[in-house]
Amino acid sequence: MPIYLHPSFPHPAVIEVYYKDYLTQFPEFVGPALGFTVEAATQGVRMVLSGVFDAYPTLQVILGHLGEGLPFLLSRIDETLSRPGNRGGSFRDAFCSHFHLTTSGNFSTNALVCSMMEMGVDRIMFSIDWPFASNTMGARWLEGTPISAEDKAKIFGGNARRLLRL
């Protein structure tokens, strides 16, 4: 079974340096607006770099919010870490082989298309993000996206049934 990597609040020292000055007016900044994203994305990258997937080659990880921005950054991370001085291996290949994404609260068609192009539709699953987003909002959004009925069926449940062996 896969591991679900769920975001959480940044370390107090990080909050102090990066978020504290904004929390009075923007309390969600440290949470779902950005803090959760940065923390979960960082942990996803760290998992790849740590060699955990070399030690556990069949390990699969689910990352929410359409990959916490990582699909958008895959090319840059991969190219940068391929430069001399870095340990060998393709970050992109490791990430795309071991991570699955959920839509959970990231109901952006552009982000979905980017994720599909970078990861492939078979690695994306429908999810909400209650209480931050409603079931109705998420379902209506995905139903209205300009992707094929076959891809919608995979995202709406087919991919989860396959990955979770339901």
Q: CATH number of the domain at 119, please.
A: 3.20.20.140
Residue 113 lies in a domain: yes
Residue 35 lies in a domain: no
Residue 28 lies in a domain: no
Residue 34 lies in a domain: no
How far is residue 42's CA from residue 107's CA, in Å, rounded to a whole number? 21
Domain range spanning residue 158? 52-163
6-40 confidence digits (pLDDT tens): 999 999 999 999 999 999 999 999 999 999 999 99
Residue 45 lies in a domain: no
Residues carrying an active site annotation: 129
Amino acid in position 30: V
Would you place residue 141 in the very low, low, confident or very high pLDDT band (cuts 50, 70, 90)? Answer: very high
- Is residue 5 a contact partner of residue 38, using CB atoms and an 8 Å limit? no
Quick check: 130 pLDDT over 90? Answer: no
**Residues 118-142, mean pLDDT to the nearest whole number:** 94
45-60 confidence digits (pLDDT tens): 999 999 999 999 999 9
Would you place residue 42 in the very low, low, confident or very high pLDDT band (cuts 50, 70, 90)? Answer: very high
Please state the domain count of the chain: 1
Residue 61 lies in a domain: yes
Residue 124 lies in a domain: yes
Residue 46 lies in a domain: no
Average pLDDT, the chain: 96
Would you place residue 161 in the very low, low, confident or very high pLDDT band (cuts 50, 70, 90)? Answer: very high
- How much of the chain exceeds pLDDT 90, in percent? 96
